Amino acid sequence: MSTPNEPSFRESVDIMFNRAVALMDLPPGLEEKIRVCNATYTVRFGVRLRGQIQTFTGYRSVHSEHMEPVKGGIRFALGVNQDEVEALAALMTYKCALVEAPFGGSKGGLCIDPREYDDHELELITRRFAYELIKRDMINPAQNVPAPDMGTGEREMAWIADQYKRMNTTDINGVACVTGKPTNAGGIQGRTEATGRGVQYALREFFRDEDGVAKTGMSGTLDGKSVVVQGLGNVGYHAAKFLSEEDGCKVVGIIERDGALTDPKGLDVEAVRNWIAGHGGVSGCPEGTHIENGAAVLEMECDILIPAALEGVINQSNAARIKAPLIIEAANGPVTAGADLILKEKGCVIIPDMYANAGGVTVSYFEWVKNLSHIRFGRMQRRQEEARHQLVVDELERLSHHLGDAWSMTPDFKSKYLRGAGELELVRSGLDDTMRTAYQSMASVWHERGDVDDLRTAAYLVSIGKVADSYRAKGL
């Protein structure tokens, strides 16, 4: 997607890394140690399909093992290549450090168009790829824990977990070898929508930061803000849905592979998603106006632009024409290093990928902890919490009895207050807390350091600082 004179995705990540380390005082050599990818494993394997053997190429790249296990999704897409998985693995390192998920960075990919295969064929391919990675400990609850990414979801994760268990029958922690599993196979509630939910929490926290909002030239809250989203996959769909249903945003543009839909009054995200599920794209969708050249809609007037699809979509060829004053990178690497400078020059604020889409790995962390502790969150405390709340309610009711009707509790308050937190509430609370804390650590650098004028550099400074600290603690 990037222009010919644009660096590759991995180079682009390295350039942004270099811009940040130039402002740091790292011991000699440590900078390079952190930047480079530790190892990338390439595997080619055959699967007998439709009467013949088909050969597939897959990768698992480990960027940094300053903490183990290393963590990061597995992508199924035709464009997968070594450069891309290495860039994505590096971003995982910085992402985990920023949100304090105790992992190093990794990423995997398989060159395949999953839409070309039926369920059974995909299961054979996924299990075979998993087998190749498991036997080299590149999937392992203590060493390397994959998760969903583009083209994969909970179904693939369940196959991987099952494959691991078949090959490690006595590993009591086997189910923690992968996250993003279905809830009936060791998953955690709230993981599927976690990345989109994280984008929503990130935006809410951004709009609590008056100085940050002032830099965009906007004011107020999320309510009434117009949003353009590129990619209505798992991340883009959930972000757009939550922002429009819960925060009063208007989704004025949705960009997909086959064009875009626009409506200044706001599109019905659910209706568009259903149309895409049934028709494979937005063409013919009765919602809004169909625009053939989807990329042009990135340049539409709006308050918030959410690229939630591929890397490199905002590059040197279109950056100058982007009008949104605020971009939140729901995808990994949607803005190239060159475009980043052009946008900064224009005064556009970018909430960077390593923070914006960290909701997924954050809830993956909760899932991994749940798997290792072998107990669902809230199982021990929930009823006890309810019983203690009941005590307070009973006491207040006894007191209000003497004070008359004006002092009685509303039924809504009572039912809300009495309900103890279950797994989903705890996951949301943990995610919200993580997104707020990480934003504050990044924003304080942005606002307080005179030599840092963007959130991405601030995010890199925080995360590289944390990775450097762990290397120092290891005595390196």
Q: Catalytic residues, which ones? A: 107
Decide whether 2 or 332 has the Cβ nearer to ligand GLU: 332
Nearest distance from residue 76's CB to ligand GLU, in Å?
A: 12
Which of 396-408 are b and which e, b meaning 16 or more Cβ less than 10 Å from the residue's Cβ?
eeeeeeeeeeeee
Side-chain half-sphere exposure of 428, counting CA atoms within 13 A: 9
Nearest distance from residue 366's CB to ligand GLU, in Å?
A: 10
Size of the site for ligand GLU (CB under 6 A): 11
Distances (CA, A) of 264 to 89, 184, 252, 273, 302: 38, 41, 5, 18, 9
User: How many Å separate Cα 457 from the centre of its chain?
Assistant: 19
466 lies in the binding site for ligand GLU (CB under 6 A):
no
Decide whether 149 or 303 has the Cβ nearer to ligand GLU: 149
Decide whether 105 or 294 has the Cβ nearer to ligand GLU: 105
Nearest distance from residue 429's CB to ligand GLU, in Å?
A: 19
Q: According to CB under 6 A, which residues from 95 to 154 bind ligand GLU?
A: 147, 149
CB atoms within 10 A of CB 23: 15
Under 8 Å between Cβ of 322 and 301: no
Place of tokens 């005082």: 25
- The residue among 318, 301, 306 whose CA lies nearest residue 351 is 306
Decide whether 226 or 332 has the Cβ nearer to ligand GLU: 332
- The residue among 429, 414, 420 whose CA lies nearest residue 382 is 420
Token pair, residue 359, equals 């909701």
Under 8 Å between Cβ of 338 and 319: yes
Decide whether 72 or 114 has the Cβ nearer to ligand GLU: 72
Please tell me what DSSP assigns to residue 299: G
231 lies in the binding site for ligand GLU (CB under 6 A):
no
Own/partner long-range contacts of 202-205 (Cβ < 8 Å, ≥24 apart)? 202/328, 202/351, 202/355, 202/356, 202/359, 202/435, 202/439, 203/243, 203/247, 203/304, 203/328, 203/351, 204/247, 205/435, 205/436, 205/439, 205/440
Nearest distance from residue 120's CB to ligand GLU, in Å?
A: 25
The only residue of 58, 73, 187, 294 in contact with ligand GLU, by rule CB under 6 A: 73
**Cα separation, 362 vs 99, whole angstroms:** 7
Q: According to CB under 6 A, which residues from 330 to 369 bind ligand GLU?
A: 332, 357, 360-361, 364
Nearest distance from residue 148's CB to ligand GLU, in Å?
A: 6
- Cα of first residue to Cα of last residue in the chain, in angstroms, is 39
Decide whether 148 or 259 has the Cβ nearer to ligand GLU: 148
Residue number closest to ligand GLU, CB atom:
73
Under 8 Å between Cβ of 276 and 282: yes
Nearest distance from residue 108's CB to ligand GLU, in Å?
A: 10
Nearest distance from residue 217's CB to ligand GLU, in Å?
A: 30
Decide whether 132 or 149 has the Cβ nearer to ligand GLU: 149
DSSP string, 16-32: HHHHHHTTS-PPTTHHH
Q: According to CB under 6 A, which residues from 14 to 53 bind ligand GLU?
A: none
From 67-75, 284-292, 320-328, 457-465, span contacting ligand GLU (CB under 6 A): 67-75
179 lies in the binding site for ligand GLU (CB under 6 A):
yes
Under 8 Å between Cβ of 256 and 295: no
Residues near ligand GLU, by CB under 6 A: 71-73, 147, 149, 179, 332, 357, 360-361, 364
